[in-house]
Structure formats: C-alpha cells, structure tokens
Amino acid sequence: MSSPTIPEEILEAFQKQFGFALLIKGTAGTGKTTLALEILSRAKNPIYISTRVSPEFLYEQFPWVADFLNPSNIYDATQTYFPTITQTQTQRFKVFKYSDVPNFIEIIFEHFQGVEEPTIVIDSWNAVIGYRLPQDVQEEKFSNLITELVRKTNIKLVLVAENPEISFLDYLVDGVIITHDLRVENRRARVMELLKMRSIPIKQPYYTYTLDSGRFKLFPLYKFQFPSILLKPEPLPDPHKDFISTGILDLDTVFGGGLRKGSVYLFEVAHGVGDGYLNFIIPLFTNQLNSGRGVILILPEGYSAKSFNLVQENFVDREQFLKQFISFERLNESQKPEEKSYIQPLNNRIDITFQQIWEKAKNLKNNNFGPIVYFLGLDKLENTYEEMEIIRALSDHMAHIKGSEGDITVILAREGQNLIDKISHMADNHWKVRLLNKALVIYGVQPESEFWLVANDTSRGYVSLNLTPVV
Amino acid sequence: MIMASSVKILVVDDEPDTVLLAKRLLEMEGFHVITAYDGEEALHQVYAEHPRIMLLDIKLPKKDGYEVCKEIKSKQSVKDTIIIMFTAKIFDTDREKGLEMGTDYYITKPFSGKDLISLINTILKK
C-alpha cells in the first residue's frame, strides 16, 4: 500500500462543502510550500499566489506541479522592484499587483468569486502582511477579514506563514499545522503537528514525514500486514558475490548491498513495534529458501515454526521448506511426524544446542544448501540459558561463522534486553527498528545511518517493504 | 471446456493493491478482468458489462458488499452473476449475512492466489 502524501484530517477538511482556512507555518526548509502544493494537487480549481518566489522558480523547484497547476492559475505577487526577465515569461503568468493589504483582499474576492470551488494558496502570508500595511490599520483586522472572506465565499484557503510563533491568525483560521525539523537520537526527524482542525476530529496529532524527491510524504500508523492475495515471490538475486540479498530491494540498498557474508547483524526492536519487524525477517528467510539455501532459527519468544504457516504455504515450495528450514524450539507438545524433520528441541545446555546447530548447518551445506542464514532470538536465549553462557556460546558461534565461507547470523533482540550492549560490541552491524510518531523507522547504530521510513508494499502478493529516507 | 478468455470477471475492492493483484493473477490465467473500487461503480459495471463472476469485498465506499450483493440478486437481468465475497472478517455473522444476501461463495483475506484460481475453475466446471 502506498503512503498518503497528506493527513486524512486535511483531506476531510478540504472535501467539506464549506470554506476552510488552513494556516501552515514552520521555520525555513521544513516543507511548508511542498505541503501546500500537495494540497493543491488534489483541488478541483487550484490557484497559487506566490508572494515570495517567482512562478518560474516554482516550476523549476517542483516540476511535478506542472501536472495540475497551469501557468494561468499561478499569480506572481512578488511585487518585485525588478521587471520580469523575458516577455515570454510575463505572458505565461498573471501578475498580481496590489497597492496594500486591503487591496490584496479585494482583488482576491473579485478574481475568484466566480470560480467553482477554488482552493487558493497564498505563499506567504507574512509577505502580504509585511507589504504596505497601512500604518493606521492593525494586522489583526486584515487577518480577520481574510478568514471572513473564506466563510462568506466558501473558498478553501491555505496561508503559508514563515513565523512558527502563535499569532492572532491562529485563533481565526480553521486549521493550524506546524512543520518541524527536529533531531531525534542525533538524526533528522521531520514532524508535522496538527494543532487545530475545526470540526474535524484529529486522529493523530503528530505525523512523521519526509521531503524525499521534492515531495511531501507522510507516514501514518504502521501496522504489519500481509497482502490480501498471497503469491510466491521470485528469489531476489544477491547484489554482489560477497553479499546475500535481504529479500527486499530497498533494504539491500540501505545495507550497502545486502547482508555481508561471514557477518553478524544485531537487529534491535524498540518497544511498541510489535510484529512490525517480521516484515524484515519474512522476506529474508523466504528469499534464502527460494534461492536454494538453508535457514536455521531460534525464533523470538511468542513464535514457532507454526507461526509461519502462511509463509510456508504460500511463499516457498513445501519441498524446499522441509529440506532447508530448521527451527530449534522448546517443545511443549507432541510433534507431528513431518514436523520432526524441521523442528528440533532446544537442549538444556546452550553449548550442546549450538553444536547441534552447526551439525545441521554442515548437513545442509553437504546438500548444497549453503551459505546458511541463522536467526537467533535473544529473548528466547535469555529465558532459557544463563547470560554468561549465552555470551560464550555466541562468541564461539561468531568465530564459527567467520570461518564458514559466507554464513550470516541475524540476532533479533528487543530493546532493554540485558545482553544488547555486549552483543552490539561483538556484532559487525547493529540496526534498530523503532516507532517515530507511530511510523516505523529503521536506522543504523553501527554503521551509523539516518532514519529510513518503512512502508508495507502489498502490491506484489508477498511481504515486502519500501524504505524512504527522512530528508 | 470453457475458454478462460470468454469469462469476464469483475474485481471489486477499495484497496488498489488488492484489485491490481487480483487483476494480474486472473489475467495470467487468461480471464477477462474488469474492476471497480466502490459499491456504486461495481453495480454500474455489473449492469454494463454482465460479468460471469464477481469478486466482491464487503467493506466498500458508497455501498457496501452486502447491499451490492442484495441488489444484484434481486434483479432479473444480472441475478445469475456468481458472487465470491472476500473479506478480512472471519466472523460467522458476516458469513451468514452474506449468504442471506445471496452470496454464492466466501473467501477470507489473506488468501492464496492458487486457492482463488482453483475456486474459480471449480465454479466454471459446475
């Protein structure tokens, strides 16, 4: 499912029959104009009044605007002292000259009262107010006038303001949005704040967004999701001879070419993510099996091989699954005969468990199912064995895979587990998955990376993801 | 033996990914596929195109799957349309309500592409 570009709350407000005045404010570079243009892109009659930048610059900076905004609907209200560069350009755009602010409002009223359902962006309102406001007239009066105009004429108005402080205008308009550029864990996090939306319930007051590729794209509540129709994926080829594909094209790119052979990856999942991290794990082991290679798992608490019935029934061949998949589990119930081939009991001693794991890996490799990917759920190890024993066993395992000609270990840990710091020092890579205003992000702790926003891709019939950088 | 290309199937769901997936899957099997994204559009397609089979989601904008099903089954000209209702809901009440409205078959999301094709082929052989 592709991510929406603007919040549901704004869509609802702009679909109403009555006028609506929305104020978008934030510091420079937070995407106010981009958001305003995204809103315009959905309007029946979009009109853009530019008081800051020339219309030429608008097309140059946002080429996608040409798809919905004709030059005849762009008004150059820059009030520049210099003439426009060429005659051709002046003919393309309407020049919006006004003598002062009351005159500006008057012209808007006259120009657009006959237009059906106009949505007008004034970018920026500060520039209008700052331009020749009569000395005897207060700013509040004209802010009041413009919002009254909205109500009387049922137009949709978007005012872009450069000052994020609360002003008189905040009380007059119907909606107020603030765009923030923050630092979270030393990484850029763009957050949109829905401060007020008159008569529209605010379901989510904060949204994480990105300005990737010059578009405003927000990421709402993340929920793990299978596609409605399940199809077997074609295996994704390894990007390089020294790497194994993660089964997700975007993740291969973020990881610098997939998972490096002979490496250990610590995958830490923060509180609240729930099943969200399965979207990374399922494609990896599916791709590994479909590529004719082996997978050995000690799954995290709460999961067993049976938890992945949908995966084994739909995304891989049953025959491949039985030959190449081995899960070590605490066995509390009797096994079906066929399960004995791929579900092995966890031994009470961790050293014996790992010897059995390596033995199984050797057998898989003898049958040409190498290199192997191991998934180890740290919570299950912590709940089964002593901490010092785990560290020793994992050290031995890491030494084992370094000499294994390309095996990879993925350790799955939950934030707050006792052994994370120690394992982070032992692992070659440490990636973390967390929520940012309910959106799912992944980022590198080692090597360090910016946030990447995660969206389900259910368009292919199997579990996959799209990753977008927060820029 | 029925030629798949002679069988017109209408896929109705408000999730574009589901519609596109179903369309791709069914077209690969040779069926002629038409689509709709809400209840009203679905009814329009049924009257205009007379599909043999309809894959219908319950939760739809404008008119839900039950209403669409009820109307189709009450109209002489289109009542023979075979309706496969697909839904994320698994409660018996939904199934019962669907059957009351005239649904012919049920399939619960997520479902396997192979199972859907197999169900359609079984229906066509009857």
How many residues belong to chain B? Answer: 126
Examine the pLDDT at A88 and tell me if it is beyond 70. Answer: no
The stretch A291-302 carries a mean pLDDT of 95
Fold of A243-469: Rossmann fold (3.40.50)
Lowest mean pLDDT among A123-137, A355-369, A415-429, B11-25: A123-137
- What is the model's pLDDT at position A171? 87
Q: What is the mean pLDDT of residues A4-13?
A: 88
pLDDT at A81 over 60: no
Proportion of chain A above pLDDT 70, given as a percent: 91
How many angstroms away from the CA of B120 is the closest CA of chain A?
A: 14
Q: What is the DSSP letter of A274?
A: G
Residues in Cβ contact with A228 at an 8 Å cutoff, skipping those fewer than 6 apart = A458, B13, B15, B17, B18, B21, B86, B88, B109, B110, B111
The CATH 3.40.50.300 domain(s) of chain A lie at 8-219, 243-469
Q: Tell whether the model's pLDDT for residue A92 goes beyond 70.
A: no
Classify A170 as helix, strand or coil: helix
Level-2 CATH architecture, domain B4-125: 3-Layer(aba) Sandwich (3.40)
Report the alpha-carbon distance of residue A404 to residue A408 in Å, rounded: 9
The string of DSSP letters for A93-122 reads SEE---SSHHHHHHHHHHHHTTSSSEEEEE
Q: Give the burial class of B87: count Cβ atoms within 10 A of its Cβ; 0-12 exposed, 13-18 middle, 19 or more buried.
A: buried
Dihedral angle over CA of B72, B73, B78, B79, nearest 10: 160
CB contact under 8 A, B21 and A229: yes
The rounded distance, in Å, linking the Cα atoms of A164 and A23 is: 10
**Is CATH 3.40.50.300 correct for A8-219?**
yes
Partner-chain residue, chosen from B15, B21, B109, that has the shortest CB–CB distance to A461:
B21
Residues A19-25 have a mean pLDDT of 93
The two tokens of residue A446 are 């080692």
Domain boundaries, chain B: 4-125
CA B43 to chain centre: 12
Using DSSP, state whether A386 is helix, strand or coil: coil
A97 has a pLDDT exceeding 90: no
| DSSP state string for A213-225 | GG--EEE------
What pairs with residue A48 in β-bridges? Answer: A74, A121
How sure is the predictor about A165, in pLDDT bands with cuts at 50, 70 and 90? confident
Interface confidence, given as ipTM, is 0.87
A106-115, B42-51, B80-89, B103-112: range with lowest mean pLDDT: A106-115
Q: Let me know: does A40 contact A121? Beta carbons within 8 Å.
A: yes
A313 contacts in B (CB within 8 Å)? 112
Partners of A467 in the β-ladder: A454
Q: Do A1 and B113 touch (CB under 8 A)?
A: no
3-class secondary structure, A401: helix
Q: Say what the pTM is.
A: 0.89
* pLDDT band at residue A130 using 50, 70 and 90 as cut-offs: low
Of the partner residues A1, A229, A459, the one whose CB lies closest to the CB of residue B110: A229
pLDDT digits (tens, 9 = 90+) for A299-342: 999 998 888 888 888 999 988 899 999 999 988 767 777 777 89
Per-residue pLDDT for A114 more than 60? yes
Ranges A131-140, A290-299, A449-458: which has the least confidence: A131-140
Angstrom distance (rounded) from CA A29 to CA A58 = 15
Q: What is the pLDDT of residue A90?
A: 47
Higher pLDDT, A465 or B93: A465
Element (H, E) at B105: strand B105-108
User: Which residues of chain B have a CB within 8 Å of the CB of A227?
Assistant: 17-18, 21, 110
Mean pLDDT of A332-358: 87
